[in-house]
Amino acid sequence: MRALIVVDVQNDFLPGGSLAVAGGDAVIDPINRLIKAFSEARDVVVCTADWHPANHISFAASHAGKKVGDELDVSYGKQRLWPVHCVAGTQGAAFSSALLSDKADVLVRKGMRRDCDSYSGFMEADRLGKTGLAGYLKERGVDSVAVCGLATDFCVSWTALDAAAAGFKTVVVTDASHAIDVAGSLAAARESWEKARICQVTVCDLLK
């Protein structure tokens, strides 16, 4: 069985949002095509969502004298600082109204701890906390995973890498994902995929 993991198609990551991915709304139609196809095939559809407390460690506003783009040394390594985004219960944290999120089999919320970020839908940034997604997929009999959404070089990439590490055959759907691409982050992500044997595919590849 296959699973489609739709990563963080939330208002704050879309045009007009506080951490908007330029052109990010272009992923919604191709993602919806995939959601429909996976649902009709009775494969698994997962939607992940950032769900942060208002004083989250990843927010520049949580650190006096720091600005967006700075990096902090924290207990689990380097933490890049972002604008305040996807605060739990806000409109910015809601899925796009255009996304067929109601067809998802499961919703995974992440980044809920104040002192730890979580780009991945599988594990927190400290590499200790787990969301339970790997266990859920294995219980459902999933052996292959397609990952798409926002942003390609951060949450999509980390989710794909953790899927592969958990033993799932993993692909990234490049035309259903969009990158931020800061300081070479997209090239670094692609290099990591190659090392992890994660393939890049298109929506058409999956719908064949």
Q: Which residues of 117-155 are buried (b: 16+ CB within 10 A; e: fewer)?
A: bbbbbbbbbeeeeebebbebbeeeebeebbbbbbbbbbb
Task: Please measure the distance between the N-terminal and C-terminal CA atoms of the chain and give it in whole angstroms.
Answer: 16
Q: Which DSSP letter does residue 110 get?
A: E
Cβ atoms 8, 155 nearer than 8 A: yes
Catalytic residue among 86, 110, 148, 162: 110
Could you tell me where the beta strands, DSSP code E, fall in 8-69? 44-50
Catalytic residue among 86, 148, 155, 162: 155
Specify whether 110 is catalytic.
yes
Specify whether 47 is catalytic.
no
Specify whether 8 is catalytic.
yes
Q: Which residues are catalytic?
A: 8, 110, 155
